[in-house]
Structure 1
């Protein structure tokens, strides 16, 4: 399924076929990182670890119950920026992500889409809030490192640069020498959309279910797909033209 702009019926994937550089978010468009290793449990473990250090009051109730590891990490960084506590918490999250990578589930059609874009000369990069160590491990397991290397831009201990800040997207653009309008960002969250817009990069939303699709549309995404298959077909059609 594709979602088009309401103003006029256009091919919502035409910018996809023209992109010279494609920036991928990692967890979602490329794979389900926590398919076999619950992100909710990871968030709970981080909260428990903080409480074990006597830091129960560091998080609000909403943050403790968010079930999102990045919410916990951001909250601690806001209150103790650039601290040893943040560094240790970030490393604990990275180790959990590394464990999750072993059971990550590839997003349908992502691998052939990556290989097809590479074959036709499109440059690829990853711009993610996950650890770049995790991304590289996953790419190695799929034989896709050469399609992206060296352009993997992920979480550092400078957590203020996490999306929706466009920092990782701007790094990818600078490293590939791409003009924003010649690139395309594939993401599955409103923060991906906001970061892409801030960097001036066209955005393609990927939503594996209606809930995620609604979040993207409510945030203003005008092109959303629930499968990468039509994207793959658009790229193949462009290559044959």
Structure 2
């Protein structure tokens, strides 16, 4: 699958599974809450297919069909529990800091768009990249969650670039579908929570295996 022929004017990144490996903090937070509700914990690797579409859906998937009456209670418990440990184990993936540095030096506009709550998204991004990203957005009700393209199109407008000049870089089919709906280039990464096959099936324009493949400039 060849790289796009034209370099981007802007790159918008997903957060979890793309910029940072947050799986342990997410999984352990939800597992602690499941145990409070008398439900057994989930193996951490299973969370790769539970995350990516916001905390409410994560909690519904974690509960499953056996205890639907406990979904709302799990959501109530999981949000504050996770807030206390956002950065306990979460770290950027290898090579991501170098990639962000190169994109900055190439004067490419940088943004983050996550389905994580907006305040949590900002805390994580600013902890590792205090000034590098000009637009940082998590979930806010008025814009909806990915794959709703509303916020992504707003980021393009604020950058002053067209969707076709923009790459959305993410690790899940949700990111690729968001890109399709917005008319931006959807780039899949395989170092996150989903597989090459998942991203191909979703219709990614380009799939990369390491951050260095995305480097532009220098």
TM-score (norm 1): 0.69
Q: Any conservation in 2 of the 1:42–1:96 contact (CA below 8 Å)?
A: yes
Distance 1:216 1:91, change over 3 A: same
The residue aligned with 1:153 is 137
Q: Any conservation in 2 of the 1:173–1:180 contact (CA below 8 Å)?
A: yes
Superposition CA RMSD, Å: 3.3
The residue aligned with 2:96 is 110
Structure 1 residues without counterparts, runs of 5 or longer: 5-10, 57-65, 78-84
Distance 1:140 1:71, change over 3 A: closer
The residue aligned with 1:40 is 27
Q: Any conservation in 2 of the 1:190–1:215 contact (CA below 8 Å)?
A: yes
SS at structure 1 position matched to 2:210:
coil
The residue aligned with 2:43 is none
Q: 2:3 aligns with which of 2, 5, 12?
A: 12
Within a 5 Å distance, the mapping from 1:66-215 to structure 2 comes to: 67=47, 68=50, 70=53, 73-74=56-57, 89=75, 92-93=78-79, 95-97=81-83, 99-142=85-128, 144-149=129-134, 151-156=135-140, 158=141, 161-208=144-191, 212-215=195-198
CA distance in 1, matches of 2:58, 2:95: 35
Moved more, 170-179 or 185-194: 170-179
Q: In proportion to residue count, which structure has more strand?
A: 2
TM-score (norm 2): 0.76
Task: State the 1:133 CA deviation.
Answer: 2.4
Aligned positions, number: 199
Structure 2 residues without counterparts, runs of 5 or longer: 40-45, 61-70
Q: Any conservation in 2 of the 1:34–1:100 contact (CA below 8 Å)?
A: no
Is 2:211 the counterpart of 1:228? yes
